[in-house]
Structure 1
Amino acid sequence: MKIGFIGLGNVGGKLAGSLLRNGHELVVRDLDATAMAPFVARGAAAGDSPAQMARDCELLITCLPSPSACAAVMEGPDGLLKGLGAGKIWAEMSTTDSGEIVRLAALVRATGAEAIECPVSGGCHRADTGNISIFAGCTRESFERVLPVLTTLGRRVLHTGDIGTASVLKVMTNYLATANLVTLCEALVTCKAAGMDLATTYEAIRISSGNSFVHETESQVILNGSRDISFTMDLVNKDIGLFQALADMHGVPLEVSPLLNRIFQDGEARYGGRELSPNIIRRLEEATGLDIRAPGFPAEMVDDEPEEPGYEVRPRGRDG
């Protein structure tokens, strides 16, 4: 299966790398030509335009920073929709609005092609090794057709239902990760203010009921001082804003979510949208005058698990 991949940013570049590393025939495209160069050097072809890639490839994957960027790639003068047709598959791997993905999927299906949304979760370091998790929203038939590729891109693949369901679950998980990040920042700063050793504090959280995936990743780069988790404040604001909009649409009176949105809106106003998201802790560092760093922690996360073949995760009661 010849695969076209559009969007070679922090996540997309790593996902495309997994495809290339595992021997898939790959065509790549990014607005930044320098992002394409390493892939071309390793054997990928450079895509001329989204439309031409859609004509030449069987599977077209987009991994882009915003719903508007995805719409531009799909609907532009030389967009993917111009080249899609029967037998083709469009797979959207971005974190996007469920309503927008449903709208674009309808346009894709009108061409005779299939549409799949398959956002990822688990951090850039796991995207780099093919060990990330993938949510897939599509028909069961489409899911089974593309599953061999998804299990190359990720280790755990969950079929969530039809188009739109995966986006709902993805923004939900990003909301939970953001809530965890903010509470970990508060915990680390409070323990430092109380005179606790931060390396000891890290281990106390890690071996206790306070532990989490976010702690074992983002707390480490916070304590190192790099704060580099390859995710930025503008992207956090996009994701938690989408979750709040979802709750508003369905009349759910959330209490924590509005506060998280205000915290990260303030962080982006102070430090800029491209500031690394764990640096939300700077708000508390500046308020207290404390430096939340400790020796011995890595500047960036590296997946220490070997790459393994992926598999489908089945919800309980659906093992047949």
Structure 2
Amino acid sequence: MDLKIGYIGLGIMGKSMARNILKAGFSLVIHNRSRQSVKELVSEGAFEANSPAEVAEQVDVIFTNLPDSPDVEMVALGDQGIIAGAHDGLIYIDNSTIKPATARMVGQHLAEKGVIMLDAPVSGGDIGAREGTLTIMVGGPVDAFHKVKPVLEAIGKTITHVGGLGDGQIAKAANQIMVAAQMVAMGELLIFAQQAGADPRKVIEAIRGGAAGCWTLDNKPPRLFAGNRQPGFKAYMQAKDLGIVMDTAREFGVSMPTTAVNTQLFNAMLQMGMRELDNSAVIGVIEKLSGTELSV
């Protein structure tokens, strides 16, 4: 079955993901506030729509990739939102990272118009988005998941149906707990090694093949050693995601002592003017606290 796809939200991640859907041979209708991203994709074969409602009217499956919960609520349920162009059988897939409760609320409202919603946040950063190797965590009806899986395979490599609507967001929140911990730990170990007299480059080489091995140590140190702290995944988005984690933890009475500290460190980045830098640039907070800088 040929599916016509819509994509709304063409930021660092969304533009690359939409492009990969287009490259996979799907007909693509797009909408975005920034004109440059729209022009690029239209030149590559996409079609432009003037509102989320106009996208929804034309497609079988509609994606969004937006900054935060209020943005998703507005685009999905607001004036000229997806709900205004809804039709029976439309599948809505949200690639944003938002509160699980928001995903469930939006899905309930759209269901009244015959729309099936899947929450499908992603992990893998700008590199994974460009290369089509993202990890995708999906919540929602399993039949809809199987129907759209060929589209998801255009943007991701590891695609997991986690459970019901909102469960994808729970998985993403868990992912961000680990990501934040790795970024902070990497910053600490690099400054620790340097100040204790070892070459941090050699330390990374020594430990990344052992029990400390992880995606962060495989990908981030070369950028930091080169003095590159540009995103990637922006610090203010990491801080936003940790806010979702902490809000959800409070909702369910879960103690998160380490994540609470990591949340403070990422919030400190924002206060120090580093909100647009990569999340690995949290090392800058460690540098400030230690009175030193990583040698490049």
Query: Which amino acid in the other structure matches residue 103 of structure 2?
Result: I
- In the TM superposition, residue 226 of structure 1 has moved relative to its aligned partner by 0.8
Residue in structure 1 matched with residue 215 of structure 2 by the alignment: 213
TM-score normalised according to structure 1 size? 0.88
- In the TM superposition, residue 264 of structure 1 has moved relative to its aligned partner by 1.2
Query: Which amino acid in the other structure matches residue 99 of structure 1?
Result: A
Query: Which amino acid in the other structure matches residue 94 of structure 2?
Result: E
Is 1:230 the counterpart of 2:217? The answer is no
Higher mean C-alpha displacement, 248-257 vs 187-196: 248-257
Quote the Cα distance in structure 2 between the aligned partners of 1:110 and 1:159.
23
Deviations 1:160-198 (A, max 9, x none): 111010100101101111011101100000101012112
Equivalent residue runs for 1:105-184 within 5 Å: 105-184=107-186
Query: Which amino acid in the other structure matches residue 242 of structure 2?
Result: I
Residue in structure 1 matched with residue 14 of structure 2 by the alignment: 12
Quote the Cα distance in structure 1 between the aligned partners of 2:202 and 2:22.
41
How many residue pairs are counted as aligned between the two chains?
Answer: 294
SS in 2 for 1:136: strand
Query: Which amino acid in the other structure matches residue 10 of structure 1?
Result: I
Residue in structure 1 matched with residue 61 of structure 2 by the alignment: 59
List runs of 5+ in structure 1 lacking aligned partners. Answer: 295-320
Residue in structure 1 matched with residue 31 of structure 2 by the alignment: 29
Contact residue 5 and residue 61 of structure 2 kept, 8 A: yes
Residue in structure 1 matched with residue 278 of structure 2 by the alignment: 276
Is 1:96 the counterpart of 2:98? The answer is yes
List runs of 5+ in structure 2 lacking aligned partners. Answer: none
Residue in structure 2 matched with residue 41 of structure 1 by the alignment: 43
Query: Which amino acid in the other structure matches residue 83 of structure 2?
Result: L
- In the TM superposition, residue 98 of structure 1 has moved relative to its aligned partner by 0.1
Quote the Cα distance in structure 2 between the aligned partners of 1:55 and 1:142.
19
State percent identity of aligned pairs.
26
Quote the Cα distance in structure 1 between the aligned partners of 2:69 and 2:275.
17
Q: What RMSD, in angstroms, separates the aligned Cα atoms of the two structures? A: 1.3
- In the TM superposition, residue 248 of structure 1 has moved relative to its aligned partner by 1.2
SS in 2 for 1:271: coil
Higher relative contact order (CA 8 A, sep 6+): 1
Quote the Cα distance in structure 1 between the aligned partners of 2:295 and 2:44.
38
Any runs of at least 4 consecutive aligned residues in structure 1 with deviations exceeding 4 A, and if so which? none
Deviations 1:241-277 (A, max 9, x none): 1111121111122211111111111111112432332
TM-score normalised according to structure 2 size? 0.95
Quote the Cα distance in structure 2 between the aligned partners of 1:12 and 1:289.
38
Quote the Cα distance in structure 1 between the aligned partners of 2:167 and 2:221.
30
Equivalent residue runs for 1:178-217 within 5 Å: 178-217=180-219
Contact residue 265 and residue 285 of structure 2 kept, 8 A: no
Contact residue 268 and residue 275 of structure 1 kept, 8 A: no
- In the TM superposition, residue 228 of structure 1 has moved relative to its aligned partner by 2.7
